[in-house]
Structure 1
Amino acid sequence: MASSDDFEQSVVKFTLSRTGEKVCIDLLADKLVFRPLCQQYSTSLGDFWAHVLQHPNNYPVYSHTYKKLYRMGNKYELQLRVDGVTLRVDLASGCLTIKGSHVIDWAVSRFPEIMNGYLKPPVTASKELREQYTKQEVDSLHQEQKKYYKKYIEDWPDETLEASANVLDAGKTQQYYEAIDPDGFLKGSDLETHNPIADLLNEEETKQQLKRLLSGSVIQGSVMYRLWKSTLNLWFADKDAKVFIVTPHIDSVRLTDICRLFLNNKLTASLEMMCVPVRNAHGRFADVQRETMKKFSPQDQVLLEYKVFSSVVYPLMDIMTSFIAMTTDNKAKILLTNVHFDKACFQTANSATVLFEKIDRERFMKEFCGNFI
């Protein structure tokens, strides 16, 4: 392992040779700060550190989650949590901060590899990271989580989720579902579709309508809304499916829909990722989430926090489109649209462009998710 002095000299030489700027390294408690030596701010140095970290040989955006922070509408900081340390790049000042309980050990042993990785041509193999826990510790944690979650599911009051609990149908002994016109549904001929709380399509009808969208179509927003909910319900009911939700704008009602559909399929549902901006047309996502959670019981909130909102990620780039998707084994299914997931786009007769695709899971993760996380 290189000494601390050798490490500092290597960093100084690295930045000077690539940017023409000198840096110094400050040790402050549990963090290291690489800052410009001759000037207070250096945006070029900030961009340089971002490129170094996101280089394909180091921590590329398609396999690592970066958090973007904004000030006055402009991006000013990137954050990455990896190997038990947090790396922060201040894009305005050019400072790179590494924080962690063993930051010196990590920096001296790992940062030279990052610098060397930046200087080499990209490789296709993923970067092997040092484990924070031993395999035995990880297995023990997983077993503990399974035990608590199993007990939570066993204590769940299933009767509250039964369809017969609908107070509007009190006194009825059976629920009835009116089938849709398969040929006219996408054209908006089904009157039930224009009801914001329309019945979900059944499994066969949902698959049939998705198949009709393999070549794309322009449909009414209300039709898209009913199909959107029905598709999520179908995918949440598949125990082997991992569901992805990406949109630039979402309101509390649509977020509530997602939560209720998840709860209705709580034994099988798996939400892998919900990608939404920190702030959108409906305010801060945290506020939308808070408003949504008020609509559920404390017991429901526990499950939603653990299984739904823990999957939320904030995109590394602006989102201009929306989609829901699911993956099973090596396949991916995607329902892609140009509208947002909110009232203005869903509870309307205005048109929505929609396309259903089936592609390989690897391609989906790289070309769809890789652009956002």
Structure 2
Amino acid sequence: MVRVTSIGFPNGRIETTKANNEMITLKDVAKRAGVSPSTVSYVLSGKKKVKEETRSKIYEAVKTLNYSPNKVARSLKTNSTNTIGVMVNNLSDMFFIDILKAIESTAYEYKYNVILCDAVNSEEREISNLRSLLGQRIDGLIFAGTGKNKKLNLDRLGIPVVTLDRSAGSGSGSIYVDNVKGGELATEHLIQAGKLPIALITYSTLISTFFDRMYGYRKTLEKYGLPYNEDLVVVTDFGTYNEGYNAVRELLKRKVEFQSLFAVNDMLALGAMRALVEEHYKIPEDISVVGYDDIPIAKLFLPALTTVSQPQYQIGRKATELLIRTINKEPIEEAEKSIVITPELIVRETA
């Protein structure tokens, strides 16, 4: 089961279920604990801190009455909800489709539910969703965040966390692709084809994923004795089709010469191709294009996109398995906590 945010309880209310053939309500819990219904709501949703003595009274009332809002009563007894949270920086990024499929499928196999959150590239939304997830008493978290919250310490959340597609992991573990290597593969392919100079479209260098891909680009230029030219680089606000389209417009506006283009994700690359075609450039005859991710539609475009492939389903499955093993306190070797996957260049028609 996947529940997409917004998460939390609508209008501050918590749904109730029948227990012992009787409808036990939040008001019943409040009456038994000697507190207001709003205080019960705050404690069970984790929205506000209350005194430990008050929390204990509420938990005791919940257990005594067998009150079960979203399995809260069961979680209080077992200290587990069999639920994992997933935070991604932007659900519109098609890279996450197969990853999320793998997470849900693997979680289902292990009898875990999934709560999915979208940070929509917002620092505030990311923090808000994290607070809500913790209020839902999730057992663990798979995290692929915005990279904007520099003070965010995942190890202080008090639950196992596995970072996904990010080299800066938590103490629990991380699953990511060698993005420096991926940047090198893309750039070297274009150099060996003689398509110079090479333009670069990147975004959010605050996130290690895209910083590393750009570093791979620069490292390969240096390896071949080629200069790095900032005029050939466009840094976008988001990694979307429209941003790739606008990035090419910016490059053309600068009147900078380039014979090829490396985009740090496929959506940027596909948007860039649209802009080039509109300006009557032939791909790859006039300008070659290489993307990154190998999302499902990359091979469906005409011409089909040459790209750096990373196994998205495998990433999602490994992340989920590592998280559940950590939740269950299984012995895990240090080497297993940081899994680095080697990318592969998929040569199609654009380069």
**TM-score, normalization by structure 2:** 0.26
TM-score under structure 1 length normalisation? 0.25
